[in-house]
Amino acid sequence: MSGPSVVVFDYGSGNVHSAVKALEAAGAHAELTGNINAAREADGLLVPGVGAFGAVVDQLRASRADEVIDQRLAGGRPVLGICVGMQVLFERGIERGRSAEGLAQWPGTVRELNAPLLPHMGWSTVDAPEDSKLFSGLHSERFYFVHSNAAADWAVDTSGPFSPPIVTWSHHGERFIAAVENGPLWATQFHPEKSGDAGIRLLANWVDTLSAH
C-alpha cells in the first residue's frame, strides 16, 4: 500500500488494530509494531493509550517509547497521541489517588473531570480554532470519547521554533483539552479510530502533513 509510513507503537496497551485499519483508510501505510527502529524511522508515529495513566507511562518507558518520542520530536518528526497516549504527554497524572510522572512534553496535570457522570462516554462536539489543520473541514463534527480524566489547563510557552500551539477544547462537566497541535506533536483525547467517517478524515488530515517531513 502506498502512502506515508506510520507505526502504531505496540507496547502492550491492548487491542489497537482498529487504529491501524483507520490509518490505512486515511491513506497511510500503517504497521503495528514495538520495534524501536521502525518507530524511529517511520514518517509518522502514533502512540495509543488504553488503561490507567501510570500503567501506560510504565509500559512506554519499559518499551523505550519515551526515548523514541524524544528523538523524533527533537528532529521535528511527527508524533500523534490518542486518548491516554495524549494524557501521558503531560507532566503528571492523578488517577484513583495515585500520582504518576508523565513524559513531560507539556506542562500540566491530568486529573479526574469534575462531572456528574463518569466516564465521559459517547459522541461530543469540540471547539477547534479556525486555523486548525487537524480539524480542517471538520468543525461541525462529533467525535467519540471514552475517559474519566483529562487535562483542563493549558500553560505552554508559545516561544520557540514552531508555530504557536493550537488547542481544541470540549466540555463534560467542565471544559477540558480535546486536542493539541504543537509543532510535530499532535494529540487527541477522543478516539478518531472509533469516530466513523469524521475520525478517518481527521486522521487523513494528519497523514497529509507527513509528506512534508
Query: Where do we find the cell 480535546?
Result: 178
193 is catalytic: yes
* DSSP category for residue 133: S
133/206 Cα distance (integer angstroms): 8
> Is-contact 26 2, C-beta < 8 A?
no
Please give the grid coordinates belonging to residue 167: 488547542
172 is catalytic: no
Choose the catalytic residue: 31, 83, 141, 147.
83
Task: Return the CA Rg of the chain.
Answer: 16
> Which residues lie below 8 Å from residue 143, measured CB to CB, with a gap of 6+?
123, 124, 126, 178, 188, 190, 191, 192, 195, 198, 199, 202
21/170 Cα distance (integer angstroms): 26
121/116 Cα distance (integer angstroms): 13
> Which residues lie below 8 Å from residue 132, measured CB to CB, with a gap of 6+?
166, 168, 179, 181
Strand partners, 100: 93
Among all residues, which ones are annotated catalytic? 83, 191, 193
